[in-house]
Amino acid sequence: MKRYFLLMLLFSLSCYSQEWIIIDILEQSKKELIYKIDNGDEVKRETVKNPSIVRLINEYQALGYQLKSVTQGVELELSGNLPVFNNQNNFAVTNLNFFNNNRVMLWFEKVEEH
Q: Is residue 72 part of a domain?
A: yes
Give φ, ψ of 95 to 5 degrees.
-90, 110
Q: In what order do the strands lie in the sheet with 66-80?
A: 43-48, 33-38, 16-28, 96-113, 66-80
pLDDT over 70, % of the chain:
61
Q: Is residue 5 part of a domain?
A: no
Question: Tell me, what's the pLDDT at 73?
Answer: 77
51-97 tens-digit pLDDT: 899 999 999 999 999 999 999 877 777 676 666 555 565 555 556 67
Is pTM beyond 0.75? Reply is: no
Residue 17 vs residue 60, higher pLDDT: 60
Q: Is residue 99 part of a domain?
A: yes
109 lies in which domain range?
Answer: 17-113
